[in-house]
Chain A
Amino acid sequence: MARTKVIEIEPLTRVEGHGKVSIHLDDNNNVKDARLHIVEFRGFERFIKGRPFWEVPVIVQRLCGICPVSHQLAAAKAMDIIVGAKKLTPTAEKMRRLMNYGQIFQSHVLHFFHLCSPDLLFGFDADPKVRNIFGIIKKMPDLAVQGVMMRKYGQEIIKATSGKKIHGTGAVPGGINKNLSIKERDGFLKDIAKMKEWSLGALALARNYTLEHMEMIQDFAAFNSNHLSLVREDGALDLYHGNLRAIDAEGNAIFNQVDYRNYNDYIMEEVRSWSYNKFPFIKSRGQNDGWYRVGPLSRMNTVDFIDVPESRKAHEEFKALTNGKPNNMSLAYHWARMIEVVYCIEKIEQLLHDPDLQGDDLLVKGDRAEEGIGLVEAPRGTLFHHYRVNEQDQVTYCNLIVSSTNNNEAMNRAVTKVAHDHISGNPTITEGMLNHVEVAVRAYDPCLSCATHALGQMPLTGELYDAEGTLLERKSRTI
């Protein structure tokens, strides 16, 4: 009888939250299957039911501490519909946009400088004692300082727009509850030139790495897929609002300029027995062919152009690399992510010079509705929030499709491909082998949040079992 061995990598390191990879090997140590397991938010969807709708933009931030702003904004957009706010005031919309740019800026920066740069700058197989952020600090201290100060800049923007760092209350149904003071604005303007300079430096780093390692990147965790994101009505990149566009691996439109409130007509979610995480797919393409990617790479693929100068130039160069066709290389996420860092800081600068941010007209209301759907582009991709509310103002239905769920199939394919390419025939667990798999997952910057922690509870363990469940090999370290 054929025997199956299972290697488990748990938890994954240098990703947000907790997850594990299981790799199944046959008798000849060839990879039969590889899976990424993520903690799902189903419990939270139930937790929301019965809560007053106006609390939701605050409560959903407790989904996780990594991208609370994205959840706040998606929920607020859904609740705008509930309170009948068809069009926000300029101050409200621009404050929300500023909040979103701050969030994406700081999130991308953290990922690039502190989570993935050790792989890129030291190599996937480098000694793990060196291949970490402290190795970066030692070798490139200026880069480390930039990473921290850029992240802090984005966090301060969140604080100024959302009210506070934890459980911000800035975005409320129908608008916003504060504007940006002149003092706050001037504080941000003081550092904007430095932030732009550093952002362009990070973009150059990611671009150059991609071009210099193109032979490897063309193959490493690379595969064709569909791509999905919001796009503005004129086809420009828009991280806060727009319509849905999906394209296939060749760039052909699957659907275009779809009102996201009709997402249920276009997207379905599949449940698989081995995972708590859902697998969304495009209905018209079916379960097997309809899965898609989201996030920076997909956004660079779906949008026609960017409307601010430096990131526009960068996007054009990015597109030229694949002759205008979609880029399907997982490791190109890093370059795409840094284009968005430049985009965000250019947009932040533009907004800081806009007097609407000091306006006092913050809220609008209209006819009450029973159902609201809100979408934003979160750092990791398209984020769906869908609610129904009864006459007592209580939430009766909640469905969330979070960014990392949208990328679920793609991450599983990335893990499988890398396992085939780098593990097959080699049953011994090595740190370098674990890291190749993790590099593939890290490219997507998934948020595998479980949102709880306590002192001293984070062992990293790799285990090799035979088919009878006998432990053959185990490696562990505490992080």
Chain B
Amino acid sequence: MKSDFPKILLIGYGNPARCDDGLGPALAAKLEATSIQGLTIESDYQLTVEDAHDVSRHDIVIFADAALEVKEPFSFYEIMPQSPVSFSTHSVTPEAVLSFAQNIFRSRVRAYMLGIRGYEFNRFGERLSEKAESNLEKAFVFIEQMSRASWTGLLKRNILETR
């Protein structure tokens, strides 16, 4: 029987050993501990080309990353496939993953960027700054609330509220 819930994939990425750069994986870990119907969680250092295959098998994908130049506590907006001129596995953008998914696997997935405001990136340390912790908590609540309601309907409204 087909589920009423869309299949959602959240990929939290970043380097947890570089302080606030680990915000994406930290969100993934928090969500993983909370079983949410229809929500699949992935976590990695950075996006990779094979993410396109996973992305193509979902209805909606959310890319969660640390961000420097966004409003606190986080930004959330829809993104579109975009083919970059160049890339390495260090710099596969969410838009490029979508482009791979679209061009290789004919995916029509809808995608959103969740950029959680971070502050400390340039030192080693497995910790989040205090302000980043606070932003993470708000991002977590946001995703959790979205999950408890009908994703598709809420997504449209929240894009406008948080961009």
Query: A454 to B121, Cβ gap below 8 A?
Result: yes
Closest chain A CB from B99 CB (angstroms): 7
Query: A115 to B88, Cβ gap below 8 A?
Result: yes
Pair count A-B, CB < 8 A:
126
Complex Cα–Cα for A68 and B70 (A): 30
Query: B104 to A144, Cβ gap below 8 A?
Result: yes
Number of B residues near A (Cβ < 8 Å) is 43
Stretch binding the partner chain, chosen from B1-9, B39-47, B135-143, B149-157? B39-47
A residues neighboring B (CB under 8 Å): 13-18, 43-44, 47, 59, 62, 64-66, 68, 110, 114-115, 128-129, 132-134, 137-138, 141, 144-145, 147-149, 151-152, 155, 165-167, 449, 451-458, 460, 477, 479
Query: B121 to A452, Cβ gap below 8 A?
Result: yes
Query: B43 to A455, Cβ gap below 8 A?
Result: no
Residues of chain B within 8 A of A132, CB atoms compared = 83-87
Subset of 14 A-B contacts with CB under 8 Å: A13-B87, A14-B88, A15-B88, A16-B88, A132-B87, A145-B104, A148-B53, A149-B53, A165-B43, A451-B17, A454-B21, A454-B65, A454-B118, A455-B68
Residues of chain B within 8 A of A165, CB atoms compared = 42-44
Closest chain A CB from B122 CB (angstroms): 7
Query: A452 to B16, Cβ gap below 8 A?
Result: no
Residues of chain B within 8 A of A133, CB atoms compared = 49, 87
Complex Cα–Cα for A59 and B126 (A): 10
Residues of chain A within 8 A of B113, CB atoms compared = 455
Closest chain A CB from B85 CB (angstroms): 6
Q: Mark B64-103, 1 if CB is under 8 A from A, else 0.
A: 0111111000000000000111111111000000011001
Complex Cα–Cα for A456 and B65 (A): 11
Closest chain A CB from B117 CB (angstroms): 10
**Contact of B86 (CB < 8 Å), options: A13, A144, A455:** A13
**Contact of B100 (CB < 8 Å), options: A47, A66, A148, A167:** A148
Residue of A nearest to B100 (CB): A148
Query: B49 to A110, Cβ gap below 8 A?
Result: yes
Query: B103 to A137, Cβ gap below 8 A?
Result: yes
Residues of chain B within 8 A of A141, CB atoms compared = 103-104
Q: Tell me whether B18 is interfacial, beta carbon within 8 Å.
A: yes
Residues of chain B within 8 A of A460, CB atoms compared = 86
Query: B67 to A455, Cβ gap below 8 A?
Result: yes
**Contact of B99 (CB < 8 Å), options: A114, A134, A147, A453:** A134
Residues of chain A within 8 A of B17, CB atoms compared = 59, 62, 451
